[in-house]
Copies of this chain bind each other. A is one copy, B any other.
Amino acid sequence: MESTISGVGVIDKAAAILSAVADEPLALAGLVEATGLARPTAHRLATALECHGLIRRDPDGRFALGAQLLALGHAASRSWPLAEAANFALGGLRDQTGESAQLYVRQGDRRVCLASLESGHGLRTIVDTGEILPLGLGSGGRVLLEEVGPDGWLASVEERQQGVASVSAPVVDAAGRVVAAVGVSGPIQRLTRDPGPRFGPAVVAAAVSIATDAGLT
């Protein structure tokens, strides 16, 4: 029976419960449907998670993500050397380009925003820390899939969102593995339909700077 993905069944189920509940608060019946677990099992695990603050009950009694996850998320970004290093370099990148700058890491078949600084313009792209975006769409995602051009950067225009363009570059570790993607994004009006040549070099420089500052050498 190799139906367990992590080697520990209970943890697979708990993770399934958390991501089911992450989409929207769910009553027990909804949780059962979303996870495929038996009703007593879903209930037992959800209440167990509730004991540890990973899940809470909303005013209607439905299961929702708990306060402990806020604390852990905060601690997670604090403990990430990459995020510390990035916040400095992203500041420079934003000031230099005048556009919003973000850092993404891969998480399974998606990407998570590790750090984000917003442009001062009224019209700007907004991505929150912790936000999830697809891997295949947008320059940041495709950089994480190792699709990089010969100049070390990759540009995309209206792939993920209408009217938005972006330029990203990989942050690589000593072994050459892509560990993150830095990028700037903004409206086509300012970035134009071919933003690569104009923003690429600055983005690549920021990526190198982040890798150095984070000690990936």
Contacts and interface: CB of A to CB of B under 8 A. Distances in A.
A173 interface: yes
B11 A49 contact: yes
A215 B45 CA distance: 28
Interface of A: 5-8, 10-12, 14-15, 18-19, 22-25, 44-45, 47-49, 51-54, 58-59, 64-77, 79-81, 105-108, 112-114, 128-132, 173, 215-216
Contacts of A173: 59
A70 B73 contact: yes
Contact of A105 (B15, B44, B54, B67): B67
A59 B15 CA distance: 24
Contacts of A131: 71, 74
A133 to B, nearest CB: 10
24 contacts: A6-B48, A6-B49, A6-B51, A7-B44, A7-B51, A8-B48, A11-B48, A15-B54, A18-B72, A22-B71, A22-B75, A24-B79, A58-B81, A59-B215, A64-B76, A64-B79, A65-B72, A65-B79, A66-B76, A67-B106, A67-B112, A68-B112, A70-B73, A70-B130
Most chain-B Cβ atoms within 10 A of its Cβ — which of A65, A69, A114, A173? A69
Contacts of A113: 70
Contacts of A74: 73, 128-132
B71 A67 contact: no
> 4 closest pairs, A vs B, by CB?
A73-B73, A74-B130, A65-B76, A6-B51
Contacts of A215: 59
B7 A67 contact: no
